Amino acid sequence: MHSIAATARISPLCDLEDSVKGSRLVIGEHVMIDAFVKVVFSGGLGDVIIGDWCYVNSGCVLYSGNGITMGRDVLLAANCVLAPTDHEYGDREVPVRLQGFRPSRGGITIEDDVWVGAGSVLLDGTILRRGAVVAAGSVVRGEVPPFTIVAGNRAVPVGVRGQDERTPA
């Protein structure tokens, strides 16, 4: 089931799948979803909730998994992947595709005023607190404190907003 605010701008070139298990896609006021964005209902029963004034740039893929909640004013740069689910793989005798999914680590929560740089990957259990910035190409699992800038694979703090506005190369 989709609930899309009347003021949201959704590219006709994006793919918003329907859930077969009853998960919801909720898109808030003044949201912009660019071309070639894909929302996939797979890997759990979570909802995908995109708050007001968010921008999801071209090429992003959002898996519903254990749920994604985005606050207000969130910016996802191009080609980000939000994957709030993990495949089970413990049994060597059974193909991974047949083992289902691991227990939830809590889904993905992105609070207000967060910027996620191009090509970043957010994994199950990620919490980006208010004002956080994720540098391009980062892989994040776990909690990022408010206004903290993280970078790398696995992302680590590299600064604090308002103290050093430049992200290291």
pTM (two decimals): 0.90
pLDDT digits (tens, 9 = 90+) for 40-85: 999 889 999 999 999 999 999 999 999 999 999 999 999 999 999 9
Q: Domain-by-domain residue ranges, the chain?
A: 2-155
pLDDT digits (tens, 9 = 90+) for 87-127: 988 888 999 999 999 999 999 999 999 999 999 999 999 99
117 with 134: CB under 8 angstroms? yes
Mean pLDDT, the chain, integer: 94
Q: Which candidate, 24, 11, 115, 5, places its Cα nearest to that of 71?
A: 115
Q: Quickly tell me which residue has 């909730």 as its tokens.
A: 49
Q: How confident is the model at residue 161 (pLDDT cuts 50, 70, 90)?
A: confident
CATH code of 2-155, in short, is 2.160.10.10
